[in-house]
Amino acid sequence: MKSLVLIIVSLLTISSINCEVYFEEKFPDDSWESNWVYSEHPGKEFGKFKLTAGKFYNDPEEDKGLKTSEDARFYALSRKFKPFSNRDKPLVIQFSVKHEQEIDCGGGYLKVFDCKLDQKDMHGESPYEIMFGPDICGPGTKKVHVIFSYKGKNHLIKKDIRCKDDVYTHLYTLVVKPDNTYEVLIDNEKVESGELEADWDFLPPKKIKDPEAKKPEDWDDRATIPDPDDKKPEDWDKPEHIPDPDATKPEDWDDEMDGEWEPPMIDNPEYKGVWAPKQIDNPAYKGAWIHPEIDNPEYTPDANLYKRDELCAVGLDLWQVKSGTIFDNFLFTDDIEVAKERGEQIKKTQEGEKKMKNQQDEAEREKEKAEKPDDEDDEDLDDEAGEASPIEDHDEL
C-alpha cells in the first residue's frame, strides 16, 4: 500500500514539474509600461491604456488591470515573452475582461503572435496565430471569437458562443488539446467545445455525395398514396357560396337605375370543400432514398491542426467606441488545473465588485433624492391656498 502511495505521489510530482506557465501578467504596478509596447502604425488614431482597478472592485491592488481610456479609438499594445510551442501538449489561453463602461460597440479580445511580430507596427492586418475573446457591437453582436491561423489564413470556429455583456469582471479561457479538440470556458464554466476539424469554417468534409449515384427511376418514396377504391359521394359537390335566402330587395331599388337586383352571397353551410380520396399506406414504399457518399478527394487529414510551432507575443489590437474596458489576469500555460485554480479568484472578484457597485448605486440614489426639489410639498401648499381663497373672499364681503 505504501509503495502504491509513493508511486502516485511521484507521478503527481513529475506531472507538476513537466507542466509550464509560459506567460503570466497581473499588472501589479507601473512596470507594465516598460514591458508592453504601443504600436506606431501610421494612419490610426490610437488610444492609451491606464493602470486601474476601475470604479468598483474587490481589492484595489489585486484587481488592477489595463483600462482603455479614450473613446472612439483604436488600441494596439503588445508584449513579447519567451517563445514556446504547444506540440503534444494542451494550450491554455486565459485572461479577464471587465466592461464597466456598459460597452456598446468594441472588442475585448486578444491576439497571440509568433516572434515575427513587429510590435511598433502592429495593426489589424498583422498576421497572428490565435485570436480569442469577446466582441460586442449593438444588440446583434455579443460573441466570443475563436480564430486560428492555418496555412496563412485566419479561420473562425463556426459555433455561436455568447459572451458576457454586464459591467463585471469575467474570465475567458480557451483550451486547445493535442487531439484537435477545444473548449471555451467563461468564469471557469464550460460554455462550448468541439473538434477543430469539424468546427472550423474552411476544412472540406471527409465525405461527399457520390456524383455518379442517382435515385433509381422506379424508387417510390411516397409513404402514403390516394386510396384507388375511394369514390367521391354523389352528393359531395356543393357550391362554396350561395345567395342569402334571407336577403330582400330594398324598397328604393330602381331596376332601371341600379340594374337587376341580386341577393348578396354567403358561405354555403353544405359546402364540403374539394374532394380528395383518403390516403393509405403505399405498398411499394421503399423509404427515403439516401444519396451514397464517397471519400472526398479534396480532404486531407491533419493531425496537427492544434499545433502552434512558435508563440512569442500577446497583443490587444482592437477598436472601442466607448472606452472603459479593463484587461487583466493573462495566463498562458499547458496546465489546465493551474488555470482553473487561478480562475477561482474571479468569483471573489465578482462578489466584491457587485457589493461595492450596489453601495455606490444606493449612495447615488440617496444623493439624488436629497438634491431633488420638494415639488410635491409646494404643490400641496398651492392646493391648500386655493381651497382657502373662497373663504377669504367671503370674509371681505
Residues 233-253 as b or e (16 or more Cβ within 10 Å = b): eeeeeeeeeeeeeeeeeeeee
Q: Would you call 7 helix, strand, or coil by DSSP?
A: helix
Q: Closest Cα partner for 326 from 3, 58, 146?
A: 58
Q: How far apart are the first and last CA of the chain?
A: 113
CA distance 133 to 111: 9
Residue 231 falls within a domain, yes or no? Answer: no
Residue 363 falls within a domain, yes or no? Answer: no
CA distance 152 to 137: 28
CA distance 164 to 325: 13
109 is in an annotated binding site: yes
Residue 397 falls within a domain, yes or no? Answer: no
CA distance 377 to 52: 44
pLDDT at 384: 54
Residues 367-392 as b or e (16 or more Cβ within 10 Å = b): eeeeeeeeeeeeeeeeeeeeeeeeee
Residue 79 falls within a domain, yes or no? Answer: yes
Residue 256 falls within a domain, yes or no? Answer: no
State the CB neighbour count (10 A cutoff) for residue 128.
21
Q: Would you call 184 helix, strand, or coil by DSSP?
A: strand
Helix, strand, coil shares of the chain as percentages rounded to 5?
20, 30, 45
CA distance 337 to 342: 9
Residue 173 falls within a domain, yes or no? Answer: yes
Residue 287 falls within a domain, yes or no? Answer: no
* Residue 35: CA count within 13 A, CB half-sphere: 18
135 is in an annotated binding site: yes
Domain count, the chain: 1
Residue 86 falls within a domain, yes or no? Answer: yes
State the CB neighbour count (10 A cutoff) for residue 395.
6
Render 287-335 in DSSP notation, one character per residue: -PPPPPEEE-TT----TTTT--S-EEEEEEEEEESS--EEEEEEEEES-
CB-based contact 75:317 (threshold 8 Å): yes
10-residue stretch averages of pLDDT, the chain, 397 residues long? 45 56 96 97 95 96 97 97 97 98 95 97 97 94 95 92 96 97 97 93 85 94 94 92 92 88 92 93 94 92 94 97 97 96 93 96 91 63 52 43
For the record, the C-alpha cell of 164 comes out as: 458576457
CA distance 189 to 351: 17
Question: What CATH number did the domain enclosing 193 receive?
Answer: 2.60.120.200
Instruction: Show the domain range for 341.
Output: 18-203+303-358
> What is the model's pTM?
0.73
The conformation of residue 200, written as its DSSP 8-state character, comes to: B
Grid cell 444606493 in the structure block, residue: 362
